[in-house]
Amino acid sequence: MDFKTIAILGPGLLGGSLALSLRRLCPDVQVHLWGRRRVVIDEIVQNDLVDLASTDLKEVLAKADLVILTTPVGIMQELSLAIRDVGGMASGCIITDVGSVKEPVMQVFDQVFGDTDITCIGSHPMAGSEKMGMAHARDDLFEGACCVLTPPADSSEVEDAKLQALQQFWEKLGMRVRVMPSAEHDCLVARISHLPHLVAAAVVEVAFDGEAKATELAGTGFIDSTRIAAGAPEMWTEILMENRLAVMAELKVLQAQLGDAYAFLEEKDEENLMRFLSDAKGHRDSVAER
Amino acid sequence: MDFKTIAILGPGLLGGSLALSLRRLCPDVQVHLWGRRRVVIDEIVQNDLVDLASTDLKEVLAKADLVILTTPVGIMQELSLAIRDVGGMASGCIITDVGSVKEPVMQVFDQVFGDTDITCIGSHPMAGSEKMGMAHARDDLFEGACCVLTPPADSSEVEDAKLQALQQFWEKLGMRVRVMPSAEHDCLVARISHLPHLVAAAVVEVAFDGEAKATELAGTGFIDSTRIAAGAPEMWTEILMENRLAVMAELKVLQAQLGDAYAFLEEKDEENLMRFLSDAKGHRDSVAER
């Protein structure tokens, strides 16, 4: 199943990058883009970035066989209800999103669309930037990155076929796709994304503890290891709160690791400190080499 | 005072990059390079990277008015004693190093050269890479980075003039120079460099806790924030042990920060979590903008 009309709801960094990527990689697809703010939509129209850009949800949803919510997780429920009320999509269309936390999104989808013929599948394209907004959108943002798909539990054959179609869609944008239950996704991203973000912020705050003189000595190590701490606080507060239990669990694991490291230093235990750093290097190298 | 003959002791990433940078930026300076391993020296000679490369310390030190120890901190004492025994440097020469921890180095310098006419000043060029060795040496490694100089306590006018000369030397290589007591240096780098390294290693180990499935989802955020964890375990074990008290103190500050963050999540305290992330973003942006 190839998508003919794709409705992107939310012209932020991800929505904008999706539009630009589709324009480049799938020129035959009709790309519709919905935004709340007139000034943003007007600019998109002026720059002729999509086939249809509008603040009118009905216009944008018309005949869409794939609807992608690229708004913050916090307004997914309100927007989903609006989509259901407005309607007008192609029959049997797929609705997905790009949220960083999937359990809450899948719950909203189930509540709002559970009794319709619409198939809702969660997507988390793990691409982004500490820079936000359409202004930083790129037509190669998704290339080479991983995208996790979270299908509804015990899905039907029809839904399996739609899952395949959605997988092929993200693969066309250059992504490596993984399929897993939303609960598993949320645990894994707590570990690989949400915890590192919280830690980077803490490392920055330690560096600025009291007088900030230490930061005059900042080298590439500090710069790279804290880059994510420049991300949008509103968005990250929302993500961390949505996934708070999983993040709290990983924070405990990290604090245990740091407690061990502290003990190695306190006890001048060079052997175990070296083993700790060697294990970390081996593991980190295995990621970099992929 | 311009240096005529510079003896670099240790052909690693920093020693090699120093040689290449001097060849490019200070072509009139005679560059001597000492190494312990014949095979490394032979290759340097074959590639004509310096004016004199040898495993014979006496040859390399002859007439040197600046001697730079680019070996691991762990063998500074042994090497310093060898320098004192062999001698042959220009009268009133300066000895410095590139070590990441300065208190232990300054103590060794004082013990070994305290009663000579040699002026010992600590240098910490905060440039490097997770890649080690002459093979990764670059002639622009030092450009734009910070270099901390740690002069001996209550230094004389003569020593102040030599400090100026050494400062100008590092500035010629494109570095921003800061001068401070060695004890202050060690506290600041614990915060801006040693702690972030330990934390990056811990974040990697959390990601690989149990099955490593999470790392399939690694994005640029995880890659950047853990890059330093790929550094050489031997070198970092030595650095962290040499500076263990300062690193332990900073670890305690970080654990407190992470404890606060945990509490914000546990109590669903969005306001304080947002403030924490906003402060970190503001601080991080102020570093990036420099």
| In the predicted structure, residue B128 carries a pLDDT above the cut 90 | no
Tokens for B30? 């005679």
pLDDT band of B1, cuts 50, 70, 90: low
Q: Assess A225–B contact: CB distance below 8 Å, yes or no.
A: yes
ipTM: 0.88
In angstroms, the separation between the Cα of residue B186 and the nearest Cα of chain A is: 10
**CB-count burial class (<10 Å; 0-12, 13-18, 19+) for A122:** buried
| Rounded Cα gap, residues A119 and A110, in angstroms | 10
* Continuous segment of H or E residues that includes residue A277: helix A270-288
pLDDT at residue number B242: 95
Bridge partners of A149?
A123, A179
Chain A residues inside the 8 Å CB shell of B259: 255
List the 235-254 stretch of A: residues with Cβ below 8 A of B: 236-237, 240-241, 244, 247-248, 250-254
Bridge partners of B9?
B34, B69
Cβ neighbours of residue A202 closer than 8 Å, sequence gap 6 or more: B254, B257, B258, B261, B280
What's the predicted TM-score (pTM) here?
0.87
Tokens for B182? 């060695």
pLDDT at residue number A288: 64
| In the predicted structure, residue B73 carries a pLDDT above the cut 90 | no
Contact B235, A290 (CB under 8 A): no
Q: Assess B89–A contact: CB distance below 8 Å, yes or no.
A: no
| Rounded Cα gap, residues B141 and B25, in angstroms | 12
Q: Assess A274–B contact: CB distance below 8 Å, yes or no.
A: yes
**CB-count burial class (<10 Å; 0-12, 13-18, 19+) for A206:** buried
Tokens for B75? 């063998």
A289/B183: higher pLDDT: B183
Residues B199-245: pLDDT tens digits? 999 999 999 987 778 888 998 899 999 999 999 999 999 999 999 99
| In the predicted structure, residue B154 carries a pLDDT above the cut 80 | no
| Rounded Cα gap, residues A52 and A74, in angstroms | 25
Cβ neighbours of residue B216 closer than 8 Å, sequence gap 6 or more: A146, A176, A178
Chain B residues inside the 8 Å CB shell of A222: 192-193, 196, 287
Tokens for A72? 């913050």
Contact B97, B118 (CB under 8 A): no
Contact A287 B222 (CB under 8 A): yes
Size of chain B, expressed as the number of residues it contains: 290
Tokens for B79? 């090497």
| Rounded Cα gap, residues A1 and A121, in angstroms | 15
Q: Assess A219–B contact: CB distance below 8 Å, yes or no.
A: yes
Q: How far is CA A268 from CA A255, B186, B202, in A?
A: 20, 18, 18
| Rounded Cα gap, residues B212 and B215, in angstroms | 6
| Rounded Cα gap, residues A230 and B277, in angstroms | 9
Residues B254-265: pLDDT tens digits? 999 999 999 999
* Continuous segment of H or E residues that includes residue A94: strand A94-97
DSSP H stretches of helix in A47-97:
57-61, 76-86
Among candidates A146, A228, A273 on the partner chain, residue whose Cβ is nearest the Cβ of B225: A228
Domains, in order of start, for chain B: 5-180 (3.40.50.720), 184-289 (1.10.3660.10)
Closest C-alpha among B228, B290, B145, B269 to residue A226:
B228
Bridge partners of B282?
none
Give all strands of the β-sheet with A66-69 in edge-to-edge order: A52-54, A30-34, A5-9, A66-69, A94-97, A119-120
Mutate to test the interface with B, among A205, A209, A248, A285 (most CBs of B within 10 A): A205
Count of A–B CB contacts within 8 Å?
295
**Ranges under pLDDT 70 in chain A:** 1, 288-290
Residues A268-285: pLDDT tens digits? 999 999 999 999 999 999
DSSP H stretches of helix in chain B:
13-25, 38-46, 57-61, 76-86, 103-113, 157-172, 182-189, 195-207, 220-225, 233-242, 244-266, 270-288
Contact B277 A236 (CB under 8 A): yes
